[in-house]
Structure 1
Amino acid sequence: MQIRLTADDGHAFSAWEAGNPDAPHALVVVQEIFGVNPNIRHVADTFAAQGFSVLAPALFDRAEQDVELGYTQEEVKKGQALRAAIPLKDTLADLRACAAHFRRHAPHRKVGIIGFCWGGTLAWDAATETRDFSVAVGWYGGGIAARKDAVPHCPVQLHFGGQDSSISHMDVAAIRAAHPEIDVYVYDDAGHGFGNGDRPGFNEDANRLAWERSMAFLEAGLHTKGNIPDRG
């Protein structure tokens, strides 16, 4: 269901809430450049089914309310424009508000973060620029290479498609070289957006393996258990 949250700077925004709000383990699911659309709600609901308390914040609310985009070229351009209109510090304020909301329900529980595309980069930023999260997972975050020298404050796991035309092999190699302690996975036959079942680039095998690895990593970081559902 939709709820309203407020960041420290007074900005009010919506978020998709899934699962038991009082579950012992909490997770922020961070959108692509298409808003909190059916795919992101599906991801949130999937994690909720595994016993997580989940929030998927509507990060575009700072630029335009209630944005849900599809995957045409025009919608891609709109999503890119909305992303560019929001400073990183403001987006991080919204992510921190999600962590604060979780901890109001259970002050000592751990909070994880997982993001896709823009959200994959934001998961990295949340891990390096804040201390609000205990574990972070990023899928095909195109901005990570540019900020590879930042130091994470929590364990991080990253996933990339080997056929991703927007994230070069050199970028992935640079991230690995800067952070040999981080598990960086590349799926050779997968392109950008390989984990989104609503996009033409969905790759079932890569998605399945990346889900398994992500869930195991989150289980280790947040001390929860769960099976990996089918996705497609």
Structure 2
Amino acid sequence: MSEWIKLKAKDGHELGAYVAKPNGEANGVLILVQEIFGINAHIRNVADGYAKDGFLVVAPAIFDRFEPGVQLTYQPGDMKRAYEFYGMLKPETTLMDVAAAYAWAKKAGKKIGVIGFCYGGLTSWLVATRGKDYEMQPSACVGYYAGGIGAVAKESSSCPVMLHFGANDSHIGQDQIEAVRSAHPEVEIFVYEGAGHAFSRDVDPNSYHAVSAKLARERSLEFLKSHLA
């Protein structure tokens, strides 16, 4: 079962959020942070999938600060708009919006984890490292192809983290991955041969790498269950 709800950030900004509910009692709560395409059909499907695995999932619409209800495809025209929105994003306000979802998630009385993809992957890492400044203390964080993570690799994490990267990712150099690995040998980092950026995006044949996506999801699910359930 799913629904849309309204959240309010600390600065008074109201934003939407997609909520996917499990059948029966939740194992834990997952905050799902979007790519740069809004809470589109793909992200909602990811949320629904984790709900089927027993998690209560909430996906805050971080683009609502610029335009309510943004849902973009992966076609060239929408890709251009996505990068325009991306240019407007700031970590401080994004973390405030995620914190609004976190405050809502706390009401469930369960352990809370964060999972994010692309920009959301970087945000998931920042929740792990900066979350306390926003009244967030997740039990685990998972980041997929977190572009720009090299610049913040030395920040200290307050919870277990798992990161997934494609070996052929043209957006994220090996140096960024090694920066995290060097600073945080305790972080579980997986690099998938033959996979590029957004390899888990099953609706996009230009990006999807089925074998890597399947393995990464299995690892993520096991990791989240071990820390949240």
> SS at the partner of 1:198?
coil
- The equivalent residue for 1:43 is 46
Deviations 1:138-163 (A, max 9, x none): 00010211110111111100000001
In structure 2, what residue type is equivalent to 1:137? Answer: V
Question: Normalised by the size of structure 1, how large is the TM-score?
Answer: 0.92
Select which of 201, 206, 214 maps to 2:207. Answer: 201
In structure 1, what residue type is equivalent to 2:175? Answer: M
Q: Is 1:165 aligned with 2:170?
A: yes
Aligned length: 221
Select which of 206, 210, 214 maps to 2:216. Answer: 210
Structure 2 residues not aligned, in runs of 5+: none
- The equivalent residue for 1:4 is 6
Deviations 1:61-107 (A, max 9, x none): 0111111111123322321221221321111011111111011232x
Q: How does 1:75-114 map to 2 (within 5 A)?
A: 75-106=78-109, 109-114=110-115
> SS at the partner of 2:107?
helix
Deviation at 1:60, TM superposition (A): 0.3
Cα distance in 1 between the residues matched to 2:89 and 2:173? 25
Deviations 1:160-188 (A, max 9, x none): 00011111112211221111111110001
Cα distance in 2 between the residues matched to 1:140 and 1:185? 10
> SS at the partner of 2:114?
strand
Percent sequence identity over matched residues?
41
Q: 1:22 to 1:58 in 2, by over 3 A?
A: farther
CA RMSD of superposed structures (Å) = 1.4
Deviation at 1:24, TM superposition (A): 4.7
After superposing the two structures, state which structure 1 stretch, 133-142 or 22-31, moved more.
22-31
Cα distance in 1 between the residues matched to 2:211 and 2:21? 27
Cα distance in 1 between the residues matched to 2:6 and 2:21? 16
In structure 2, what residue type is equivalent to 1:99? Answer: Y
In structure 2, what residue type is equivalent to 1:72? Answer: Q
